[in-house]
Amino acid sequence: MGTSDVEGLAQVTHAATLPEAFQRTVAKHGDKPAIRTQGDGLLWTWREYGKRVETMAAALAGFGVARGDTVGLMLTNRPEFHVVDAAAIHLGAAAFSIYNTFPVEQVSELLRNSGCRLVVTEQSFLTTVSEASAASTGCQVVVVDGGAPDGVMTLAELLDYEMSGFDFEAAWKSVASDDLLTIIYTSGTTGAPKGVEITHANELASINGYLTALPFPEEGRVLSWLPMAHVAERSCSHYFPMVLGYTSTCCPDATQLGPYLVEVRPTWFFAVPRVWEKLRAGLQAAMARETDEAKKQGTAWALEVGMRRTRAQQEGVVPSELEAEFAVADQKVLQHLRAAIGFDKFAVVNVGSAPSTVEVLEFFHAIGIPISELWAMSESSAGGTANPPGRVKLGTVGTALPGFELKLANDGELLLRGGGIMRGYRGEAQLTAETIDSDGWLHSGDLATIDSDGYVTLVDRKKEIAITSSGKNLSPARIEAIVKGANPLFSQVVAIADGRRYVVALITIDRQMLGAWATGRGIDVAALEPIEVNEAIRDVVAGSIATANAKLARFEQVKAFRILPGEWAPGGEELTPTMKLKRRAILDEYLPIIDALYAETDAAAGGDS
């Protein structure tokens, strides 16, 4: 198993606010690295970071930002984000992020809903932000890189507002635990984004829940790479480091995650399922390309040992001889696999935000990376459940974090209560009352089961359960996860069944994985185009679906499929920025293809499908 190169376990914080936690960290870890970029092109210690935050806070205050105000941020993962956000919250203001893929209309609505005083952006998004600001509140636009057109302020010009004699200490000490910390705007799977209001107390309750449940080291390294508008990334690489004094490395381009992982060797890493799927596929492709037969066989043996140990762990008992065999496999092979992808110094690894496949989780447990699946919501300040270390139940999202309670409603909906539950939806009192009942239970919208040990298994989103025309209830997410687990070539799978007699699927192919697959078989990848009609690809897909169908009940099995020509981009028409399916939009956009697929399948079966 991988180990961290730092000693000791982190303790829960008794700070009442994030600024208080931040200032304690500056005092305790002043000389340690806080914010950096790849290759240490930029490196700030906690003391330097703290000084920049103090200077920025004085500038924001001079501009007029005060306690209770809001500040918008539409930035990639870059150092300026941390400074502006931290400075705002030291004033008692709330900084919020905007997904970089949002169009003008959505950005305008967020600016209006938030009522922000200013919005900070970069050249890449300047046109969008400027148009959105002009169409909504007319808030001041600040650009952090390069020059600025008329009406837009540069970061240097903002800093010129630095208030003389500003009492920074008095400002941050006046911030209260029930002050608004941030607004997390949901990514829009089911319509317009909702503004989730999170207080300092909410966030710290969730942080302390994780610190109590998981073995976070006293010192650590994290990567800032997911959109900061995502509640998990905001917590992982921004708020947690304020409490723990971790080093956060900014990765502005998520497609470059692999090299960053190898350089940073994070002690804590959280990712959505698709990232783990691609990491597994990359390792498998590298193994397939190995020309040394002895090495190839050695790797296969080590993986087989790791898989047997993983399955024994799931059954509750690992025989001593198997543990000893695994130790040999780890020393000879598995530790090198972990190091190859940057996971030789980890302490905690998590996956969440969407359904994970057991096959992918098993693979990483087998090579000594015991991923802990978790579940949380923006509305719970990223707190909820997690699999306890050493007691991971694959296929579940674990047990309630300390400080949270769980129960099931009569219809199976998962309810959550605790200190991390949001203050409410901004400007949406009725929606807030519908989501958080009079007893403080947050109605998650997720259907689930809870076993006798308290482990939660998610079924699907309540609104996304499909009912076939014969009255069978099924979970599209479960079917999709099982099909995706059958082949790393599958980038996205959408199961369709609602109101239909049987299940069909739309499938997109991962072009990066397709290239590795073709190379390993001596095939010119260009010869596979167009892939949506290539017979070899179709045969591979059909075989994988047959494998998946063997794990599904008859009424859940995929009867037909259609390969789509392109891939879907995060933040596009089909996927949210965090790669969740926009199911309603997909069904609308691809309805002609879906109808044709059913018609063709019925015709081929003579109407007996």
Predicted confidence (pLDDT) per residue in 397-440, tens digit: 999 999 999 999 999 999 999 999 999 999 999 999 999 999 99
Q: Pairing state of beta strands 442-450 and 221-224?
A: unpaired
Q: Rounded mean pLDDT of 518-547?
A: 91
Residue 138 lies inside a defined structural domain of this protein: yes
Dump pLDDT digits (tens) for 33-61: 999 999 999 999 999 999 999 999 999 99
**Average pLDDT score over residue span 475-486:** 90
Q: 97 in a domain, yes or no? A: yes
Q: What is the mean pLDDT of the chain?
A: 93
- What is residue 402's three-state secondary structure? coil
User: What is the arithmetic mean of pLDDT over 482-495?
Assistant: 91
Residue 5 confidence (pLDDT) above 90: no
Residue 569 has a pLDDT of 87
- Final residue belonging to a domain, choices 248, 271, 294: 271
- The one-letter amino acid code at 20 reads E
Q: Return the minimum-mean-pLDDT range out of 133-147, 296-310, 403-417.
A: 133-147
| CA proximity to 448, closest of 411, 422, 495 | 411
| Residue 532 included in any domain | yes
- Mean pLDDT of all residues in 292-298: 94
- Asked if 475 and 465 touch (Cβ cutoff 8 Å), the reply is yes
Inside any domain, residue 254: yes
Cβ(432)–Cβ(424) under 8 Å? yes
Is 554 exposed, middle or buried, given 0-12, 13-18 or 19+ CB atoms closer than 10 A? Answer: exposed
Query: What's the confidence (pLDDT) of residue 1?
Result: 42
The band of 538, judged by pLDDT with boundaries at 50, 70 and 90, is very high
The distance of Cα 328 from the centroid of its chain, to the nearest Å, equals 34
Residue 3: pLDDT band (50, 70, 90) is: very low
Burial-class residue 567 by CB neighbours within 10 Å (0-12, 13-18, 19+): middle
- Domain end, chosen from 271, 288, 322, is at 271
Q: Using the predicted structure, report yes or no on whether residue 507 has a pLDDT greater than 90.
A: yes
pLDDT of res. 172: 98
Structure token pair of residue 491? 């980038």
Say which residues have a Cβ less than 8 Å from residue 309's Cβ, sequence separation at least 6: 318, 322, 323, 326, 366
CATH number at residue 182: 3.40.50.12780
In a domain, 175, yes or no: yes
Average pLDDT value for residue range 490-507? 94
Identify the helix (H) or strand (E) that includes residue 444: strand 442-450
- Residue 450, domain member (yes or no): no
C-alpha distances (whole Å) from 602 to each of 259, 470, 549, 590 are: 48, 16, 19, 18
Which residue is listed with tokens 């990232």? 275
* Stated length of the chain: 609
Q: What is each CA distance from 212 to 7, 243, 412, 492, 531, in whole angstroms? A: 17, 14, 28, 35, 49
| The pLDDT of residue 63 is above 50 | yes
Residue 134 lies in a domain: yes
Domain holding 182, by residue range, is: 18-271
| Model confidence, pTM | 0.88
pLDDT above 80: residue 188: no
Q: Is the pLDDT reported for residue 121 higher than 70?
A: yes
Q: How many domains does the chain have?
A: 2
Domain end point (choices 271, 297, 315): 271
Query: Which CATH number goes with the domain that contains 573?
Result: 3.30.300.30
Q: Write down the pLDDT at residue 470.
A: 83
Q: What is the pLDDT of residues 319-368, one digit of tens each?
A: 999 999 999 999 999 999 999 999 999 999 999 887 788 889 999 999 99
User: Mean pLDDT throughout 542-551?
Assistant: 95
Amino acid at 559: K
230: left (phi over 0), alpha (psi -120 to 50) or beta: beta
What are the Cα distances from residue 57, in Å, to 36, 183, 458? 21, 19, 43
Residues 153-177: pLDDT tens digits?
999 999 999 999 999 999 999 999 9
- Residue 599: count of CB within 10 angstroms of its CB: 10
Q: What is the mean pLDDT of residues 101-115?
A: 93
Percent of the chain with pLDDT over 90: 78
Half-sphere exposure of 80 (CA within 13 A, CB side): 19
Q: pLDDT-based confidence at 316, cuts 50/70/90?
A: very high
Distances (CA, A) of 546 to 254, 494, 566, 596: 33, 16, 23, 22
Mean pLDDT value of segment 490-506 = 93
By the 8 A CB rule, do 163 and 551 touch? Answer: no
Can you give the pLDDT at residue 2?
46
> Kindly report the CA angle at 126 between 123 and 128, in degrees rounded to 5?
140
CA dihedral 530, 536, 541, 542 (to 10 degrees): 130
Is 253 contained in some domain? yes
Opening angle at CA 525, ends 524 and 528, nearest 5: 105
